[in-house]
Amino acid sequence: MAEITKLIHKYLRHDKKFPHVWCPGCGIGIMLGALIRAIDKIGYEKDEIVLVSGIGCSGRLPVYVDFNTLHTTHGRALTFATGIKLAKPNLKVIVIMGDGDAVAIGGNHFIHAARRNIDLSTIILNNNIYGMTGGQSSPTTPYGMRSTTTVYSNIEQSFNISELAVTAGAAFVGRGTVYHARLLDSLMEKAFLKQGFSVVEVIAHCHTQYGRQNRLGTAVEMMELQRDRSIPVEKAAKMKPEELKDKIVIGVLVDKELPVYQNEYEKIRERAREAAGK
């Protein structure tokens, strides 16, 4: 049996879930593939994985996979994940969000989860648009681009999700694109193994909304665009900021050791018990 078939049999839910909700050619499937390969490579038990998502195209991802899965409210996935992780620290909690989910409605939760350095792995699918609701502008829609709510052109500056995560204090931040599937595999593996708050930003295309409205071509053409615009982080370090305009810097952006919330809280428990004489 081909490797991929084995993974499909092992990790996908086979009862009543398919066909999935995503458009043909969508990049979410590639992200899901990378997620499954990383989990399989590390060798987690299915019972110890909790997949938490918010709302939107990416929010539908957990329903297809055979883990403990939770589809929450819009932007709030990280808050639920925080509760799960603190209640059962032995569970591996992975959070899936979209760009609107993570940095618009959920922006506050995102920066605080990073600041807290709670041991959660966050995967953010950034396709520059609200896909499920029909192509409205998101906080990552670039300046000057079109959406159904910016038909005259987007006049807002966009968020750089990975830089936001770095600034907010995440212990691990990586960025890849769905064109670079193997890079995604390794970024996710590293993120899952990281103790602390880890973020993988996945640059993806929404050819049915963002691509169509901005005449960027088919899914394949948009993926070729990802390939052409991507610069490995090592190479980007030697480039000037103006040369990096419109480029996608991919690779591991940050990997540092910070006190992890649960470990720190365990110390608090010990101190509290001591103070109480128990």
Partner 1 sequence: MLQGNEAIAEGALRAGCRFFAGYPITPATEISEVLSVRLPIVGGTFIQMEDEIASLGAVIGASLAGVKSMTATSGPGFSLMQENLGLAIIAEIPCVIVNVMRGGPSTGLPTFPAQGDVMQARWGTHGDHPIIVLSASTVRECYDMTIRAFNLSEKFRIPVILLIDEVVGHMREKMVVDEEEAIEIFNRVKPTMPPEWYIPYEDTPSGIPPMANFGEGYRYHVTGLTHDVRGFPTSRPDEIGPFISRLHRKISSHFSEIQTAEFFQTDDAEITLIAYGCVARSAKRAAIEAREKGIKVGLLKLNTLWPFMRSAVERVLQTSKVLIVPEMNMGQISREVKRVNRGVSRVFTLNKVDGTIITPMEILCRIQEVT
Residues that bind partner 1 (CB under 8 A): 13, 15-17, 46-48, 50, 52, 60, 62-63, 66-73, 76, 78-88, 90-91, 108-109, 112, 265, 268-269, 271-273, 276, 278
Are 127 and 98 in contact by the 8 Å Cβ rule? The answer is yes
Residue 190, classified by CB atoms within 10 Å of its CB into exposed (0-12), middle (13-18) or buried (19+), is middle
Provide the minimum distance between the beta carbon of 46 and partner 1 in the complex, in angstroms, as a whole number.
6
Nearer to partner 1, 45 or 246 (CB): 45
Quickly tell me which residue has 């052409």 as its tokens: 228
CA dihedral 69, 73, 74, 79 (to 10 degrees): -80
Provide the minimum distance between the beta carbon of 78 and partner 1 in the complex, in angstroms, as a whole number.
8
| Residue whose C-alpha is closest to residue 203's, from 171, 250, 145, 244 | 250
Provide the minimum distance between the beta carbon of 2 and partner 1 in the complex, in angstroms, as a whole number.
25
Nearer to partner 1, 52 or 202 (CB): 52
* Alpha carbon distance 270, 278 (integer Å): 9
Nearer to partner 1, 64 or 210 (CB): 64
Provide the minimum distance between the beta carbon of 63 and partner 1 in the complex, in angstroms, as a whole number.
5
Quickly tell me which residue has 């428990």 as its tokens: 269
Provide the minimum distance between the beta carbon of 45 and partner 1 in the complex, in angstroms, as a whole number.
10
Helical axes 77-87 vs 107-116, angle rounded to 10°:
30
Nearer to partner 1, 228 or 264 (CB): 264
End-to-end CA distance of the chain: 57
Nearer to partner 1, 54 or 174 (CB): 54
Nearer to partner 1, 73 or 136 (CB): 73
- Other residues' Cβ atoms within 10 Å of the Cβ of residue 20: 15
Are 126 and 140 in contact by the 8 Å Cβ rule? The answer is yes
* Alpha carbon distance 276, 131 (integer Å): 53
